[in-house]
Every structure is written in C-alpha cells, then in structure tokens.
Amino acid sequence: MVATLFIDGVWRAASDNGFHDVHSPHDQSVVATVSQATEADVDDAIAAARRSFDSGIFTSWSFKERSDLVSKIADLLERDADLIARKESDDTGKRFTEAQYDLADVISTFRHFAALGAKEHGRKVDVGLPHVHSQIVHEPLGVASLIGPWNYPLLQIAWKVAPALVAGCSFIVKPSELTPQSAIALMKIIEEAGTPKGVANLILGPGSVVGTLLINDPRVDLVSFTGGLTTGQTIMRAAAQTIKKLALELGGKNPHIIFADADLDAAIDNAVTAAFLHSGQVCSAGTRLIVERSIHDRVVSEIVRRAAKIRLGGPSDEMAETGPLISAAHLRNVSEYVEKGVAEGATLLVGGKRSELPEHANGWYYLPTVLDNAKSSMYCVQEESFGPVMTVEVFDTEAEAIAIGNDTNFGLSGGVWSSDSEKAARVASALRHGTIWVNDFGPYRPAAEWGGYKQSGIGRELGEHGLGEYLEIKHIWTNNAPSRSGWFRD
C-alpha cells in the first residue's frame, strides 16, 4: 500500500488504494510509485483545509510567527537539497546539476517570502478627523488550490506555497502527476517544520480527475495555476460560478530581438541558451528570435552551428547539456509542431527530428531545431511548442521589431539586445510582456514580480505582489467619539 497523500496532517493511501508509477523521460524506467487520489480523497483534503482555516489555528499566528515557520522550511530544504534535487531529476529527466540550481532557487523563494512577511503589513489612513482611527489591514484570503506544472515542479509550487504560508492560508497542493516526488518531499518538510494540522494538504493524480474538484469546489477561495492556456481558460470559466480569486501563469511565446548594434557574441550565446535550456520546456523560453535583416545570416548560421553541437543526455550524464522531453505525448506534439511549421513555409535548418543515438532509444529526446524564414502569421510563430524549437523572423526598423514582438496573444517575457541604451529602453517600454531583459535573457530574482500580459495569465507571483495574491484587504474605521449622525429627523 502506497501512502503518499497528505491530508489533515496524516500520510495515507488513496481511499481505493489506487496508485501509479512515475517513469523517467530518459529511459522509461520506474522511478517512483505514488498514490492516485480519488474524488473522496480530494473532498477530504478540501474539508481539512477549510476546517483548519475556519478554526483560526493558523490565522491566529502573527506574520512574524508564520515568517519564522517559512524560514525554518528554507533551512530544512537546504539540509535536504541534494536528495530532493535527485528526485526531481529522476522525474523530469533534467540533469542533476540543473535540478540543484532549481533547488537553490526554491530555497531563495522561501527566504524571500519569510523576509517579506516579517515587514509591517497594513497602513493608517488620515481621514482628517482626530477622533477617527482608520486603518488598512491584510488578512489571510482563505483556502487555496495550488496546481503546479511538470517542467519546474518544486520551484513553481514554492512560488505558491511560500506566500500562502506567510499569508496564513490553508491549501491543497496538486503537482503534475508526471513529476510528484519533490512535492512529496516538500510536504514532509512542511510537516517537520511544525505547520498546524490541516493547513497543508497534498493530493496526487491527473488533473482530469482531481484538478476539476480543486477548481470547482465552493469551499476553495483561490486557485493558483501554472500551466497551459486551454486549462487556464477552463479554470476561469469554472471560477465564475463562485467568483473565486485566480492567479494564472499560462506560458508565452517570447520574442528575443537582436539589433545589428548588439554585442553579437553575447547575444548569440544567450539566444542558444534561451531557446534550448531544458530542451525548451520553459514558459519564458526565448524561442521566437527576431533579428535585424543585415545580421541575419551571421547570427543564424552561428546559432545553427551551435545547436547542432548540443549534447543531449540523461540525469547522470555529466557531459550532457540538456535532457529529454517529458513524455511520449509531448515528443509527438513537438514533432507535429515542426512538421506544421515546415508545411507553412518555414525552412528547417537543423534538427527537426527525434535523436537517433542508441543511448536515447528508450527516452523522449528531440534535437534542437531552428526554423528560418518564419512569419508572424504562422502557427509555429504564434503557438508555443514547449520544446527545443526556435523560429527566426527578420526586421528592418525599430518600429517593425516592436510590432513583430507584440504580434502575439501571449505576453510573458521578452529580450532586447542593443548597444544603444536609449533605443533598448524604448523597445523594452513598448513591448507588452511582463518581464523584459535588456542585453540578457532569463535571469529572475524572487524579489521581482513575475507574470504576464494578455493570454499569459492574470496576477503576479514573487515580489511583494506575490504575497498580496494570498491576502484580503480590509478597511477598519474606528470612531473614538461616537455621536448621533443627525441625518434624519427624530
């Protein structure tokens, strides 16, 4: 019997003893066996979260006390970082060293919110009346469903769990069924740190079974979801029934603009990383290269040369530079995406197929791919492949670069390369995306907000606003010299 559900402070098996195996994307070996929750299990988890919140067992803690708890969790994560990184590496197929970087970011996230929670919350409002005390207070929002993706399993969950704890919310975590091990490890640490019973709950299973309940249940006050646009749209429709608060991060199709006056060596190197890191399975991946026409041949030929040299390999391959795709279904989707791009008129310059190396035969490896001569109207330019596929477009003027960069329904991130600081600032300001990197691509810090414009989602994670998503704002007006209003006659 597998007991990997955490409900109301107890580790337990699914109510029907259901379970499923987690397979490595590297070689399809079984890396874990975990419980698969039933609808009854989800109901129990929501009930436990609702009960703990309404009891005041955690909301009665001060911000300082909750921040101390989150700081302790960070310490415990640091203690177990390599163990958890190994579990995440097994689940995702990414290199162990890459998973170690992710765990460092997870720890930084918990430390950021611990420090943020220790600050003063609320403010006084001067209403011009000496006998009135008017203040704004921040209170825990309620019960939250926290639904994470498979590409950065623990990091994306940490972006939700850490502020939820600091705010005083109760919650149910649902990681992707493809990558559950690090979330299980986190929940054990949350328990060890002394989180009150029922505050933190863990449900495992496919979204089609358990996710729907976590979204629709009227006892849930907030849904925070990171994942695909279609699921996000479903969540928004469902949330309308009970007017839930939503925080949605739905990916992007991110422009990476290189002007002719850029440091081309640095720009090319960053373009390769932006597109092919983690085999493109990054919501902010810079897979839409937009390059000034006069430097197109130089930039693209060098990117193609470097893409062809990228070494693919599994978690334990110390020479590997990137790993497999997450599943057979995703490999099939990426393959079809590239085929459609070529059919639309894009020119395949490198890649465009599954790796044929014998050591990759049992894994989901797809070669880094570059599609040149792309146009904004193409499916491969407008839609997200979530794979190692770069499309290339050209521009002649600054205005054209901006127009192309904004010609998307998404708006998560983008990059601009130019040695002209004023031009770079103009372009960065004009791009309708939540994060813009100038002469860089990809870095973030927990102190800076993260989120998108348009169909990349609503709300923000990280920064100060990331905590605000889990707080209600209340105005309390206290009249210390009460008197009759005198509005109506006796």
Question: Contact at 8 Å (CB) between 283 and 260?
Answer: no
How many angstroms separate the CA atoms of 350 and 309, rounded?
A: 10
Distance from C-alpha of 122 to C-alpha of 475, rounded to nearest angstrom: 9
- Is residue 479 within a helix (H) or strand (E), and if so which, with residue range? strand 471-479
AA identity, residue 28: Q
Sign, CA dihedral 136-140-141-142, equals negative
d(CA 451, CA 140): 22
Burial class (CB in 10 A: 0-12, 13-18, 19+), 297: exposed
Distance CA 488, CA 490 (A): 7
Q: Where are the alpha helices (DSSP H) in 245-315?
A: 264-276, 296-309
Residues with catalytic annotation? 249, 283
Among 141, 180, 140, 173, CA closest to 159: 173
| Alpha-carbon span 370 to 384, nearest angstrom | 14
Nearest to 446 by CA among 432, 428, 466: 466
| CA–CA dist 178, 314 (Å, integer) | 17
Q: Report in angstroms the alpha-carbon separations of 192 from 72, 77, 229, 267, 423.
A: 9, 11, 36, 45, 52
Which one-letter DSSP state was computed for residue 211?
I
Q: Are 54 and 47 in contact (CB under 8 A)?
A: no
Give the span between the Cα atoms of 462 and 368, in whole angstroms.
31
With 0-12 / 13-18 / 19 or more C-beta atoms within 10 angstroms meaning exposed / middle / buried, residue 79 is exposed
